[in-house]
Amino acid sequence: MSPRPPLPARARSVLPPWLAHALRAQRGPVPWNAVTRGALAAGPLLLVAVLVDRTGLGVVAAVAAMLAGINDRPGSRRASVKRLGAPALAGAAGLLVGTYAGDLVGAVALTVVLTGLGLLAGTMSAVGPVASGAGTQLLVGAAIGAGMPVPESGWARALAFLAGAGWLLALRLALPTPGAMTGDFRFDGERDAVARVYDAVAELLDAAGAEDAIARRAALTAALDHAQDALAGPRLRRYASSSAERRLHAQYAAALPLAEAATALAWAGEPLSERSSVGPRRLAAAVRENTHTGPLPAPSRSGPALRALDDALLRAADAFDQGGGGDLHTRRRGARALLRAAFGAGGREYGLRVALSFGAGAAVAQALYHSQWYGRHTHWYWLPATAVFLVKPDLGPLVSRVLCRAAGTVLGALLFAGFAAVLPRPEGLVALVALCGALIPVSTRHFAAQTAVATVLVLSLVMVGGEPQASAARIAETLLACAIVLIVGHLPMPGERGGQVRARLAAAADAAHAYLAHVLADSADFAGSGAPGGSGASGTSGGSGDRATRWTLRREAYRTLAEARSASALAAHELPALARHTEGTDEVAAVLERLVDTTTACAVHLDDTGRLTDRHRERLAELLGELAEGRERVGLPPSAPQPVPTG
């Protein structure tokens, strides 16, 4: 999820952080292409199922399309294959397991099974956004399979779920984007993502020496992250033999040295002439229009970073024409790093909270289901499924999620009660499902709005399936789920609180140290010093011999740093009882950011001179000292000693 814009200064000074976050909403143009796909997904699928008298399977397919629509974010088509497909596969597996577990075991054993799935999904979700989406759909599918009164078999339900998500994915791959850029429309998302990188480079160059340089550098990191994801999906053509495919890789690879030079210039803190940003802007236009670059104005070559910028522009113009970009877009994370994310302190804490919330929701729901309270209402699975969304930190701080979920559910239930009183059945409800599907991509800008739209859609599906109007039950179960997740969220867990934030911060620190060690290994100041990897001026780490590795390490350092800063910012907006456990982590992340920026400036200077200046050495020593103190203050283990050249 992209960062939400800050509140005005007056609102920030009046509202506590946990309430201010709940009132924020993302902004931007309406994604009309996603709106079109949403309108063509759940509603038409449900209509076809009603016409062929398979309403139950149509409801399952519509739910899958709704969940896929929530994940249908801006980006490239290739990235959408993994972003939509992996969660859909997990959801189908959960549906299959939940169906047979619900049929074969009793209430107590079923609760144990669901709790175990919650632990698995929670630890898996700590790996990254796609894994988190897969974990969510795994649990939602399991709850639906165990509790939804559908006569079809588990395999039929799972296939219907895959069909619903697969239909939306097929629309994503097949439909052209309105106003798509020149060329093969299948690559419009990739071209837009790469072009935004060049725009971000130009904006950073314009901001050099100004107060917003740090914000512009963060925007450049976000643009590079987005482009990296856009290019990292499966090939759209076999063997990737198309010239458009090769050109995109070349254009992304050519942006990396430009981003490096721009970061070094911003670190120097000296304003640049307007001429410096003209070249990157022309490159951005060439990407968007799928044309040649034409002549690029050369910036002044009066310093190492400016010479690096000029060289990068020349290489970019050449790479645009030749189209040989390699695979620098690939994020190289080994199995050990993924396992550490899943089963480390952060993953364990997250997994336990998801398991307890999901399991407690299932236990309470089944207890109520077998009591007099439910009456005719048989959708007990709503309670654990709601708890799954509430326990996910991807959607914001805990109290913000709870407030938004409660408000959105009440609003959605009241709206549906009004619609149900006047709409014809089933055609009116099918049309309402189609409308909600179209609104899902817009509603994802605020969790309360998303909840309201999803509530109307789900209640419509319930009535199409032959059940009575259930707005009151939906509100009651949501409030119960909110209470369960609030309690579980404040329970003490084994180990230190804030494990997820510290895990991401530790990963960012490790990536920053790896990047620094790689750059310093080529410093002439290390010649003969016995420093790890030292190779003197003729080495291959910081110099031209192994720049691809350096750029990969730099990307990983900035990317993990952005993830750590996001996790720390979310934790800071929790209630004070939770926020105090991660105090100081934002300061450590800020030191890491300055360290990576300084390392980038060192790399560019070493390319030009082979030695560091006194300013570089003093700044590195200062930042490493601050980082060591910060790690101790927030409870992170000390890092391996980092040698700093002394001249």
Tell me, yes or no, whether 550 and 411 share the same domain. no
Identity (one letter) of the amino acid at 498? Answer: G
Domain-ending residue, one of 293, 322, 351: 322
Is the predicted pLDDT of residue 314 greater than 70, yes or no?
A: yes
Q: How many CB atoms lie within 10 A of CB 411?
A: 17
* Lookup result for tokens 């309403």: 55
pLDDT tens, residue by residue, 493-525: 776 677 788 888 999 999 999 999 999 986 655
Report if residue 552 sits inside a domain.
Answer: yes
Is the predicted pLDDT of residue 597 greater than 50, yes or no?
A: yes
279: domain range? Answer: 185-322
pLDDT tens, residue by residue, 530-564: 333 333 333 334 444 478 889 999 999 999 999 99
pLDDT tens, residue by residue, 389-428: 898 877 778 889 999 999 999 999 999 999 999 999 889 9
Per-residue pLDDT, averaged over 430-441, amounts to 95
Q: What is the pLDDT of residue 36?
A: 93
Tell me, yes or no, whether 468 and 586 share the same domain. no
Report if residue 542 sits inside a domain.
Answer: yes
| Closest to 229 (Cα-Cα) out of 260, 204, 196, 263 | 196
Residue 558 tokens, joined: 């900035």
Domain-ending residue, one of 440, 458, 490: 490
Tell me, yes or no, whether 285 and 412 share the same domain. no
**Cα 201 to Cα 355: distance, rounded to the nearest angstrom:** 43
* Lookup result for tokens 């790896």: 514
The number of distinct structural domains making up the chain is: 3
**pTM for the structure as a whole:** 0.87
**Cα 605 to Cα 616: distance, rounded to the nearest angstrom:** 9
* Lookup result for tokens 């988190």: 132
| Closest to 341 (Cα-Cα) out of 116, 123, 568 | 123
CB 141 within 8 A of CB 90: yes
**Cα 433 to Cα 423: distance, rounded to the nearest angstrom:** 12
HSE-CB of 311 using CA atoms within 13 angstroms: 15
Give every CB contact of residue 249 below 8 A, 6+ residues apart in sequence.
Answer: 231, 323, 324, 325, 326, 327, 328, 329
* Lookup result for tokens 């009183």: 421
CB 134 within 8 A of CB 106: no
Q: How far is CA 262 from CA 68, 196, 310, 411, 547, in A?
A: 38, 15, 11, 48, 16
Identity (one letter) of the amino acid at 472? Answer: A
Tell me, yes or no, whether 275 and 385 share the same domain. no
Q: What is the pLDDT of residue 180?
A: 52
What is the rounded radius of gyration, in angstroms, for the C-alpha atoms of the chain? 26
Per-residue pLDDT, averaged over 273-290, amounts to 90
Tell me, yes or no, whether 65 and 110 share the same domain. yes
Q: What is the pLDDT of residue 11?
A: 43
Per-residue pLDDT, averaged over 377-397, amounts to 84
| Closest to 448 (Cα-Cα) out of 2, 23, 15 | 23
Q: How confident is the model at residue 479 (pLDDT cuts 50, 70, 90)?
A: very high
Tell me the residue length of the chain: 647
| Closest to 487 (Cα-Cα) out of 390, 596, 566 | 390
Q: What is the pLDDT of residue 195?
A: 93
Q: How many CB atoms lie within 10 A of CB 297?
A: 12
CA 585 vs. chain centroid, Å, equals 20
pLDDT tens, residue by residue, 46-101: 999 999 999 999 999 999 999 999 998 887 888 889 999 999 999 999 999 999 99
**Cα 533 to Cα 519: distance, rounded to the nearest angstrom:** 10
Report if residue 8 sits inside a domain.
Answer: no
**Cα 116 to Cα 118: distance, rounded to the nearest angstrom:** 5
DSSP conformational letter for 211: T
CB 344 within 8 A of CB 503: yes
Is the predicted pLDDT of residue 297 greater than 70, yes or no?
A: yes
Lowest mean pLDDT among 108-122, 136-150, 366-380: 366-380
Report if residue 55 sits inside a domain.
Answer: yes
| Closest to 508 (Cα-Cα) out of 630, 328, 343 | 630
Tell me, yes or no, whether 486 and 504 share the same domain. no
**Cα 401 to Cα 389: distance, rounded to the nearest angstrom:** 9
DSSP string, 143-158: HHHHH----S-HHHHH
Tell me, yes or no, whether 504 and 467 share the same domain. no
Report if residue 643 sits inside a domain.
Answer: no
426 cis-preceded (ω within 30 degrees of 0) = yes
Q: Give the ranges where 232-344 is alpha helix by DSSP (H).
A: 243-268, 278-289, 304-322, 335-343
Q: What is the pLDDT of residue 472?
A: 86
Give every CB contact of residue 557 below 8 A, 6+ residues apart in sequence.
Answer: 508, 511, 512, 514, 515, 596, 599
Tell me, yes or no, whether 355 and 213 share the same domain. no
Q: What is the pLDDT of residue 495?
A: 67
Residue 604 tokens, joined: 């560019």
Give 368 or 614, the one with higher predicted confidence.
Answer: 614
Per-residue pLDDT, averaged over 571-588, amounts to 88
Q: How far is CA 273 from CA 3, 206, 212, 259, in A?
A: 31, 8, 17, 17
Report if residue 614 sits inside a domain.
Answer: yes
pLDDT tens, residue by residue, 156-169: 999 999 999 999 99
Q: What is the pLDDT of residue 316?
A: 87
Q: What is the pLDDT of residue 28?
A: 79
Tell me, yes or no, whether 442 and 519 share the same domain. no
Report if residue 18 sits inside a domain.
Answer: no
| Closest to 548 (Cα-Cα) out of 326, 348, 358, 232 | 326
Q: How confident is the model at residue 39 (pLDDT cuts 50, 70, 90)?
A: very high
Q: How far is CA 482 from CA 409, 443, 472, 580, 628, in A?
A: 11, 20, 16, 22, 39
Lowest mean pLDDT among 13-17, 233-237, 547-551, 571-575: 233-237
**Cα 527 to Cα 402: distance, rounded to the nearest angstrom:** 58
HSE-CB of 532 using CA atoms within 13 angstroms: 11
Tell me, yes or no, whether 219 and 283 share the same domain. yes
Is the predicted pLDDT of residue 2 greater than 50, yes or no?
A: no
Domain-ending residue, one of 273, 294, 322: 322
Q: What is the pLDDT of residue 30?
A: 86
Report if residue 398 sits inside a domain.
Answer: yes
Helices 278-289 and 243-268: angle between axes, nearest 10 degrees: 160
Give every CB contact of residue 430 below 8 A, 6+ residues apart in sequence.
Answer: 43, 46, 47, 50, 460, 464
CB 274 within 8 A of CB 608: no
Tell me, yes or no, whether 347 and 462 share the same domain. yes
Is the predicted pLDDT of residue 8 greater than 50, yes or no?
A: no
DSSP conformational letter for 583: T
Tell me, yes or no, whether 349 and 441 share the same domain. yes
- Per-chain mean pLDDT for the chain: 85
Q: What is the pLDDT of residue 249?
A: 85
